[in-house]
A and B are shown apart, each in its own frame.
Chain A
Amino acid sequence: MTTTDKAPVADWATDFDHTHPEYAAHAPEIWDDLRERCPVAHSDRFGGIWLPTRHADVEAVARDTDHYSSEGVIASPFKPEGIAPRGYAPPITSDPPFHAEARRLLLPAFAPKAIARWEGATREACRELVDDVLAGDARVVDAAADYAQHIPVRVIAEMLGVPREDGDRFRVFIHRIMETPGEGLEGLSYEDTLDYYLNQIIESRRAAPPQDDLIGYLLEAEMEGQRLDNEHIRGTIALLIIAGIDTTWSAIGASLWHLAQHPEHRARLRAEPELVPFAVEELLRFYAPVTMARIAASEVDLGDEHVRARDWVLLPFPAANRDPEVFEDADRFVIDRQRNRHVAFGVGIHRCLGSNLARMELTVALEEWLARIPEFELADPDPTAVTWSTGQVRGPRQLPIRILDHGDPV
């Protein structure tokens, strides 16, 4: 839900607005329509913006770091200017060659073996949350607000080493940055900003003894023989908070939304637990939450279109994932799909750093939910009862679910 009224969109091919509530509600249909009749859509909004919908075009832009800069990854009316190669939130906003070094710093912390360490804590958090959901007599619960959203918040707070209560503040920051970029900033005091929060954290952590967590690691880390400056550290923590929460929450929420409507898939997951890894990848393909943005560094051709220097280009990975040229039965959810080269986590040098973490959280969140709540359905058949986020991360924000059956208590 946006705070401002958006001008209505007459034609998605020439005037799309990915922050429009209509887009939030109908994005997959809009992508399918555009892929057929106008594979690279354009809009004058946001100062000029493009939306490729074919897998080949999305992939080509993602891989072309010469013509497209990452200095802006969230399209808004305000275009960052002259902050490459580092950008606000390294490494996601960084361009080569700075990018590779900034990313290498973080890779070990997000490699599968490092992530495995967090699985137990994630499982515990999920169990606690299911307990809360099942406490009381309510048989209708909000699977997005009461379950999905808390999981990544807890995990990332623990990895960073900040108090769990700070999670409530994270969600406010994220909403402002991701869902209504550039809006509603009047009257906001500096003390209420993510920037202020992070400065406080860094200052207090520098004054205290070193701690063995991600912030502690960043404070000690060196790039080319130099400690990272505050700006780099602040940007990277901001990235981990912003990219780590909304996205995973969306993936968990969309997956539960799907399972609520597909008893046959719930039954298969119960009967064949070895399907879970395939089902998770198919959920990621079908409900990929993330659309990334780039800024054209110079004039460049994109499909049959001509992009001007400094135009925005969106990379809707979920649209690429539904391209029939690449996926057999692209518009069908195939729970045991064997060939699944999906790009939910992007492609190329900016492949989502947190993909192993996200995949683990999604898997654990579904396993724990299904173990205790094997049967559930949408509480309200009216599709507007489920609200979808606007902007570049897509997932249900309100997801009323009716619990039909409890599993055995653990």
Chain B
Amino acid sequence: MRIVYDRDACQGHGRCYSLAPALFDSDDEGYAVVLVDGDVPVEHEQAARLAADNCPEFAIGIVE
């Protein structure tokens, strides 16, 4: 599983980094930063889905 993050769509709602802190951080302005490069570790797959399902801007996609 991989995370596709669309920085242009992100408006800094912060749902992703509060739900999946192992996968996302926030920059100084509150926009998301993806912490994983490549495949999401299996133990964090659930959190990745949670982040994608809660982003109001549809800025996070999951590629299985």
Contacts and interface: CB of A to CB of B under 8 A. Distances in A.
A107 interface: yes
A110 B56 CA distance: 19
Contacts of A277: 18-19
Nearest to B10: A351
Contact of B14 (A112, A338, A347): A112
A65 interface: no
A26 interface: no
A8 interface: no
B55 A351 contact: no
Interface string B29-64: 110000000000000000000100111111000000
Interface residues of A, number: 23
Q: Which among B13, B27, B50 has the greatest number of chain A C-beta atoms within 10 A?
A: B13
Given A112-B14, A348-B11, A340 B54 contact: yes
A104 B11 CA distance: 12
A340 B19 CA distance: 12
B17 A112 contact: yes
Contacts of A340: 53-54
Q: Which among B14, B17, B26 has the greatest number of chain A C-beta atoms within 10 A?
A: B14
A281 B54 contact: yes
A347 B57 contact: yes
B13 A345 contact: yes
A356 interface: yes
A108 B54 contact: no
A294 interface: no
Contact of B53 (A110, A341, A359): A341
A343 interface: yes
Contact of B12 (A107, A343, A359): A107
Nearest to B26: A112
Interface in A100-132: 104, 107-108, 110-113
Q: Which among B12, B28, B50, B55 has the greatest number of chain A C-beta atoms within 10 A?
A: B12
B1 to A, nearest CB: 17
Contacts of A341: 53-56, 58
A348 B13 CA distance: 10
B14 A355 contact: yes
Interface in A305-362: 338-343, 345, 347-349, 351, 355-356, 359
5 contacts: A108-B29, A111-B29, A338-B53, A341-B54, A359-B14
Interface of B: 11-15, 17-19, 26-30, 50, 53-58
